[in-house]
Each structure stands twice: as C-alpha cells, then as structure tokens.
Amino acid sequence: MTNTVTPEHITLDPTAQAQLFTDARTANTFTDEPVTDAHLRAIYDLAQYPPTAANTQPLRVLYIRPGDARDRLLTHMAEGNRAKTASAPVVAVLAADTDFHEHIPHVFPVRPQMRDGLAADPTGREAMARFNATLQIGYWLLAVRAAGLATGPMAGFDTAGVDREFFADTAWRSLLVVNLGRPGPDAWFPRLPRLDYDTVTRHA
C-alpha cells in the first residue's frame, strides 16, 4: 500500500504514523507474552481524552484473561473467531453504558440537568450511548496501538448472549470483542485495498 502522507501536511512523526495507521494491522494470532494490568491502565489513560457528546464517555471495558470467564465467552463467539479468542493474552469486551447519564453532573458540570432529561428518554439515551461508545472504540484501538500492542476486533459474536453472561443486572450493552497482545506467527492477512480520497470526499 502506498503511503501518500507527506511531512508538510501531517506533523505526527512518521514512525508514529506507521505504528498507529499505515503499518498497523488486525492481528489473528498472538504470542503468549502477557499484557500487564499496567499496560491496560496506560491504554485507558490515553484513550479517555478524545471527544464525546457532552463529554459523556459511555464506553465501558471488560477485560477477560484465560480461565473460566474466557471459556464462557468462547461459547458466544462465532466459530471462526473462537480459536484466536482462546489464544489471546487478553480479550476486551467493549460495551456501551446506557446509564451513562448518571455521571453527567461530574463529567459535564456546566449542564447537570441533562441527567434528568436523559433519564426520561431511555430510547434516545441508548442511541446516544451506542453512538458515542462506538466513537470511543476508535480512540481505544489507537491507544492500544500506541502501547505497542496489536488488536483483533470482532463483531462476530452473540451480543445478547454476552450481555446475559457478563452484564446481567447492569446497563452495559456489548458492542465489540477485541483480542489484544503481541502479534504471533502469520498474524496478518494481506493488506486489503482502501478507498481513495476522490471516492469518499466531496466539497460543497
């Protein structure tokens, strides 16, 4: 893939550009090198800063290491995703908290009354939670790459089953399952084509 990014337009160091974007890939195998709790905390400490609507931050993360909880997760994964999910050092279930509004007086103190308005609109609140948590997932994936780790995002799982298994009696709703760790042998599929600028942009 040809990188058309030029230094005069992007101020981020080219090595960082490669790590975050142009060389980064979805990993399908992982080594057994552990991912520490310190790594996971550092990822969140970076991913928390980009914007969400009214600073609501509805993304929630459940980390699952090998063991009983991982075995239970595997029963809800699509068949093609089970082996790589079983072998990853850490798996993250990324979810939207549909009760995110309870934190509004803290995260958006300029309009604490938003909590009451959203409390009265559960349908709109869930849509807002899902949209903004999905936005945050993009930031989180880049933060994982910034930590020097590879990710394997997967939508191929039974969301209702995962919610029953791990989020019963909570307001969390699963959106994506992501394997993370150091890439193993033959981790990458060939790079697939990207759409070019003229295909995806218009000027008005």
Ordered by start, the domain boundaries in the chain are 27-178
Euclidean distance between CA atoms 154 and 175, whole angstroms? 9
Predicted confidence at residue 13, as pLDDT, reads 93
Q: Which residues of 81-112 are buried (b: 16+ CB within 10 A; e: fewer)?
A: bbebbebbbbbbbbbbbbbbbeebeeebeeee
Rounded CA separation 188/151 (Å): 11
pTM of the shown model = 0.94
pLDDT level of residue 6 (50, 70, 90 thresholds)? low
SS (HEC) of the chain: CCCCCCCCCCCCCHHHHHHHHHCCCECCCECCCCCCHHHHHHHHHHHCCCCCHHHCCCEEEEEECCCHHHHHHHCCECHHHHHHHHHCCEEEEEEEECCHHHHHHHHCCCCCCHHHHHHCCHHHHHHHHHHHHHHHHHHHHHHHHHCCCEEEEECCECHHHHHHHHCCCCCEEEEEEEEEECECCCCCCCCCCCCCHHHHCCCC
Predicted confidence at residue 81, as pLDDT, reads 97
Q: What is the mean pLDDT of the chain?
A: 95
Residue 8 has pLDDT above 80, yes or no: no
pLDDT score of 110 more than 90: yes
The tens digit of pLDDT for each residue in 39-90 reads 999 999 999 999 999 999 999 999 999 999 999 999 999 999 999 999 999 9
The per-residue pLDDT for range 147-166, each reduced to its tens digit, is: 999 999 999 999 999 999 99
Overall CATH class of domain 27-178: alpha beta
